[in-house]
Amino acid sequence: MKKYNYITIGLLLFTFLVSSCVEDLPTKYDFTGYQYSNLDANAGQWKLILHTSNEQISIPNPAAAGSPELLKELADAKEIQKKATSAQREAVGYWTNNPLLRWNEIALELATKYNLIPAPNPDGTYPVPDAANPSKYPKFPYSHPPYTSRMLAHLSVAQYDGLIMAWQYKYKFKRQAPYQLDPQIKSSYENNGLFSYPSDGAVIAKASQDILTAMFPLEKEFLAQKAQEHLESLIVAGINVSSDVEAGKLIGTEVAKTALARASTDGMKNAQTTRAKSDSIKNAAKERFGWVWENQETPQRSVGLVPLFGKVRLWNVPNVEAIRPGPPPAPNSPEFQKDAAELKQYANNLTINQRRIANFWNDGLNTYTPPGHWNRFAKEEVVANKLSPVRTARVFAYLNMAIADAGIACWDAKYYYHYPRPIQTIPGFKTILGTPNFPAYTSGHASFSAAAAEVMAHFFPANAGQFRTWAEEASMSRIYGGIHYSFDATAGLTQGRQAAAYSIAMAKLDGAD
């Protein structure tokens, strides 16, 4: 009898345990469509970034309200809405009426997926990703922070120029949305009253698909499927008819081409150098300053990460020399000794909060990198402020141009000064974060974060203090983690702020404020 009691208790417990297994965790930012705080009716007049005219990409004149063509499209839209599958309705909820945020999220996920450092070959050399053969190990791209910053800048700028043009045509043609033209069509989102021709969602879908496909060629099918789902959702949601979508696709396709043409000649393809070029850069620094950074891994990586990223074309900063900091203190100078002592002090007495900060901002391999981290903050801020799609695109465009410029300038300093990392200069030094494969001065985290924080502070002044605090925390995180000296962080913060100032100056003159 007793035996059966045990078995019963055991079974009950087992059932309870199995049922309480895995917690559902968020795989995306949880938000829904919303009422835009402002439709930004004059956004068609805002200053473009890569294009010269707001009608540079032409689209057909739309069929007039009441015309047979449009009535047919409305009838089709109604049918599509009626027949929508549950998956299509779910897609409407997912994409929202500010779908740029979802494409940005997809970009961050791909950045993470491809942020894997090449492992050594059996002979101790390291393979390099090959854009011409992307599926061969190591897969192309290696989406490290410089690559990710550049990817996000091109994505955001294409989206922004595309939406400025979309707004130009929306307010030129003033075609009402399906839910306004036909009372039987319901909008799945708030009735914002935004004109529907061309579809801003389609501009975003197509521009994002094409930019991301070029940046992550192995994801071509995944991105095509995402774009298809997004484009379908625009009609299912009742906010567009098919001609809206087609016109939006035209603009999206063309702005992506312009942005990708820029990307193809920006110098990125030369950023990862040969061993010989890398050695000559190293020797130049040695002659100039007397010190040199060496990778400390085993086997040693003979070439650092993208030594010529500092030569990549800038967005708004005139040249890297304009914001190149002065030299760091020489190893073993009193100033160096002071910061090295600080590192040892943190390593031996790290508080839980300092450890938390180091890990919170680490954003290393297999993550969306610091540029991705700041894009995430921007997304949350956009939703909190209920920005329109075009004003959202503006935030991301200036944010990501500033971040990319800060990265380029930072990389220039890194390889110009070629300064050794703490694990190289301090004997026996151990760290809680992995030391990256590039020189120390200036700190990339500090530079990226200060640039991002300044742009965010410009667009969202109510939280300016918070953003700047975060940037300082991000810069400190590398010191707590043992991979940067204090002088790297200080110089990086300054450099990032200076880089951002150029983008902010452009934003101030773009007609949006």
Partner 1 sequence: MKNHFRFLGLLCASLGILTIAHAQTPLDGLMMPKGEICIALQYEQVTWDRYWEGSTIRVNQNIGTFTKQMGMPMIVGGITDKVNVILSLPYVKTAASAGQMAGVQGIQDLGISVKALFLEKTIGKGKLTGFSNLSFSTPASNYLSDYMPFSLGLGANELGIRAIGKYELNKGPYVRASYAYLNRGTTNAEREYYYANGSVYSSTMNVPDAFQSQLTLGSWLFNYRLRVEASLTTIRSASGDDIRTYCMPLPTNKVDFDRIEGFAQYYFKSGGKGLGLIASYQQAISGRNMGQFSGYGLGITYQFKAF
Which parts of this chain interact with partner 1 (CB under 8 A)?
2-3, 6, 10, 13-14, 17-18, 20-23, 25-29, 105, 108-109, 112-113, 116-119, 138, 296-299, 347, 352, 355-356, 358-360, 362-363, 365-368, 373, 376, 423, 429-432, 434-435, 482
> Between residues 272 and 495, which has the closer beta carbon with respect to partner 1?
272
Number of other CB atoms surrounding residue 8 within 10 Å? 10
> Between residues 18 and 132, which has the closer beta carbon with respect to partner 1?
18
What one-character DSSP code corresponds to residue 135? T
CB of 268 to partner 1, least distance (A): 23
- Residue 438 CA to residue 479 CA, distance in Å, equals 16
CB of 425 to partner 1, least distance (A): 12
DSSP string, 14-26: HHHHHHT------
Number of other CB atoms surrounding residue 498 within 10 Å? 21
CB of 364 to partner 1, least distance (A): 9
> Between residues 47 and 113, which has the closer beta carbon with respect to partner 1?
113
Alpha carbons within 13 A on the beta-carbon side of 427: 1
> Between residues 296 and 490, which has the closer beta carbon with respect to partner 1?
296
- Residue 310 CA to residue 442 CA, distance in Å, equals 12
Which residues does 248 contact at the CB level (< 8 Å), separation at least 6? 166, 198, 199, 200, 201, 202, 203, 205, 206, 240
Contact indicator for 415, 320 with CB cutoff of 8 Å: no
Alpha carbons within 13 A on the beta-carbon side of 98: 32
> Between residues 140 and 416, which has the closer beta carbon with respect to partner 1?
140
Please say whether the dihedral angle defined by the alpha carbons of residues 174, 228, 389 and 512, taken in this order, is positive or negative.
negative
Burial of 261: CB neighbours in 10 Å, binned 0-12, 13-18, 19+: exposed
> Between residues 22 and 87, which has the closer beta carbon with respect to partner 1?
22
CB of 124 to partner 1, least distance (A): 9
> Between residues 170 and 373, which has the closer beta carbon with respect to partner 1?
373
| Residue for token pair 């200053």 | 47
CB of 295 to partner 1, least distance (A): 11
> Between residues 75 and 347, which has the closer beta carbon with respect to partner 1?
347
CB of 440 to partner 1, least distance (A): 14
Alpha carbons within 13 A on the beta-carbon side of 393: 35
CB of 432 to partner 1, least distance (A): 5
- Residue 404 CA to residue 149 CA, distance in Å, equals 5
Number of other CB atoms surrounding residue 30 within 10 Å? 7
- Residue 393 CA to residue 211 CA, distance in Å, equals 15
CB of 356 to partner 1, least distance (A): 5
> Between residues 240 and 272, which has the closer beta carbon with respect to partner 1?
272
What one-character DSSP code corresponds to residue 304? -
- Residue 321 CA to residue 325 CA, distance in Å, equals 8
> Between residues 367 and 494, which has the closer beta carbon with respect to partner 1?
367
- Residue 303 CA to residue 449 CA, distance in Å, equals 26
At 8, the amino acid letter reads T
What one-character DSSP code corresponds to residue 38? -
Contact indicator for 77, 184 with CB cutoff of 8 Å: no
Contact indicator for 509, 47 with CB cutoff of 8 Å: yes
CB of 457 to partner 1, least distance (A): 21
What one-character DSSP code corresponds to residue 217? G
How far, in Å, are 406, 452, 501, 502 from residue 322 at the CA level?
12, 19, 12, 11
> Between residues 21 and 509, which has the closer beta carbon with respect to partner 1?
21
> Between residues 412 and 488, which has the closer beta carbon with respect to partner 1?
488
Provide the greatest CA pair distance for the chain: 88
CB of 273 to partner 1, least distance (A): 22
CB of 95 to partner 1, least distance (A): 16
> Between residues 360 and 505, which has the closer beta carbon with respect to partner 1?
360
How far, in Å, are 102, 156, 511 from residue 163 at the CA level?
16, 11, 15
Report cis status (omega within 30 of 0) of the bond before 299: yes
CB of 474 to partner 1, least distance (A): 12
CB of 228 to partner 1, least distance (A): 20
At 484, the amino acid letter reads H
